[in-house]
């Protein structure tokens, strides 16, 4: 029981770290066609995430790997019931990576316009679809005793799912605008700052709507009412949200970005804590829900995996911390002349 609970927490943590790290890349890519007015500005935007975006995806691979190894029944049912949206996310992520690399291969305006469009699609689509997918998980997926999805893609585009998609999208755009405020200068930085300031109240309002909708469409608050200490998660999320506003006003962009990280982790864990011990609830019959206790691997597997995680996760964190520190400076037009620049 203890091992399953630990892995449930790690499962939620890995997803939260992925949203926190790759979220600003999603945000940058979504704003890309609107903020980048010149070729130089577009290249600066891409290079602001260039050394980091692929490393951030390690957390997605790790989260997926943990789902597969620790909770194989959840992995099987999830990829069956959410096959279409997950494949759309996968194709979009592939398209994003290809776009970053291929855009500069041919010096042609038409060629670059094609890849500029795919950069937008490859970041906008995952940002929206991850929110839709997780909101549906929080609400419950209509699957039967055989793990067969009783619905269509349209079934997932329900009011709560769409609210979740909008919340994730807005959080990532604000997250990305703060990253650009840190990494850029001049007119591009000014436009990024203006975008963040304008969208903050919209994002805050969307999160409030989502919290209210969660009481209507889900039973997430049952765990909170049974264990009031869990409301500290919401306090952290709100503190991060308010911190963004405060530090934007002080033009302390890195601190504002850190608060954005906190709010993303808090919002993610709001749903994860409300789900516990369920990992993949069924909206057809609660007894069919997959939990950390009825869908986990053997205790031996969980023990071996825990040893591996304890050893390697700190190494990954140390490497990423080093990478972020190494590339912590602003990206300028002079940097674009370097051979390794996008």
Average pLDDT of adjacent 10-residue blocks, the chain of 342 residues: 93 96 96 94 93 90 93 93 91 94 89 95 96 96 91 92 97 98 95 97 97 96 96 96 96 96 97 95 93 94 93 91 90 76 62
246: left (phi over 0), alpha (psi -120 to 50) or beta: alpha
Instruction: For residue 278, give the H/E element and its range.
Output: strand 278-280
DSSP 217-258: H--THHHHHH-GGGHHHHHHHHHHHHHHHHHHHTT-HHHHHH
- The whole-angstrom separation of Cα 42 and Cα 188 is 9
Q: What is the pLDDT of residue 342?
A: 63
- The whole-angstrom separation of Cα 82 and Cα 140 is 12
How many C-beta neighbours within 10 Å does residue 275 have? 24
Tokens encoding 336: 């674009």
- Residues in CB range of 301: below 8 A, 6 or more apart: 69, 70
Instruction: For residue 290, give the H/E element and its range.
Output: strand 290-291
CB 272 within 8 A of CB 230: no
- The whole-angstrom separation of Cα 230 and Cα 209 is 20
Q: What is the pLDDT of residue 124?
A: 97
CB 147 within 8 A of CB 77: yes
Closest CA to 224 of 266, 273, 279: 273
Closest CA to 14 of 235, 328, 265: 265
Q: What is the pLDDT of residue 336?
A: 80
Q: What is the pLDDT of residue 147?
A: 87
> From the CA atom positions of the chain, what is the Rg in Å?
20
How many C-beta neighbours within 10 Å does residue 31 have? 24
Peptide bond into 173 cis (omega under 30): no
Q: What is the pLDDT of residue 35?
A: 95
Three-class secondary structure of residue 338 per DSSP: coil
Q: What is the pLDDT of residue 340?
A: 63
Q: What is the pLDDT of residue 1?
A: 81
Tokens encoding 98: 């290809």
- The whole-angstrom separation of Cα 293 and Cα 278 is 8
């Amino acid at each position: 029981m203890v091992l399953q609970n630990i892995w449930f927490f790690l499962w939620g943590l890995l997803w939260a770290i992925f949203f926190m790290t790759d979220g600003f890349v999603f945000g940058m890519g979504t704003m890309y066609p609107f903020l980048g007015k010149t070729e130089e500005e577009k290249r600066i935007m891409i290079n602001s995430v260039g050394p980091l975006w692929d490393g951030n995806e390690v957390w997605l691979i790790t989260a997926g790997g943990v789902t597969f190894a620790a909770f194989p029944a959840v992995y099987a049912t999830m990829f069956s019931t959410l096959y279409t949206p997950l494949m759309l996310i996968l194709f979009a992520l592939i398209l994003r990576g290809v776009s970053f690399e291929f855009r500069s291969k041919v010096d042609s305006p038409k060629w670059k316009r094609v890849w500029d469009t795919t950069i937008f699609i490859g970041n906008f689509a995952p940002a929206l679809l991850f929110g839709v997918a997780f909101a549906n998980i929080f609400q419950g997926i209509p699957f039967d005793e055989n793990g067969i999805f009783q619905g269509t893609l349209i079934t997932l585009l329900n009011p709560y799912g769409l609210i979740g998609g909008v919340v994730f999208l807005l959080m990532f755009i604000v997250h990305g605008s703060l990253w650009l405020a840190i990494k850029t200068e001049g007119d591009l930085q000014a436009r990024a700052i203006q975008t963040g300031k304008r969208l903050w109240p919209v994002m805050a309002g969307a999160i409030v709507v989502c919290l209210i909708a969660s009481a209507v469409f889900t039973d997430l608050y049952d765990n909170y009412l049974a264990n009031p200490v869990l409301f500290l998660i919401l306090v952290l999320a709100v503190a991060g949200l308010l911190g963004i506003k405060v530090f934007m006003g002080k033009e302390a962009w890195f601190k504002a970005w850190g608060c954005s990280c906190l709010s993303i982790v808090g919002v993610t864990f709001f749903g994860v804590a409300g789900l516990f011990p369920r990992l993949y609830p069924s909206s057809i019959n609660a007894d069919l829900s997959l939990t950390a206790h009825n869908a986990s691997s053997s205790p031996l597997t969980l023990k071996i995996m825990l040893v591996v995680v304890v050893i390697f996760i700190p190494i990954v964190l140390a490497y990423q911390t080093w990478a972020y520190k190494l590339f912590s400076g602003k990206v300028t037009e002079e940097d674009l002349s370097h051979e390794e620049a996008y």
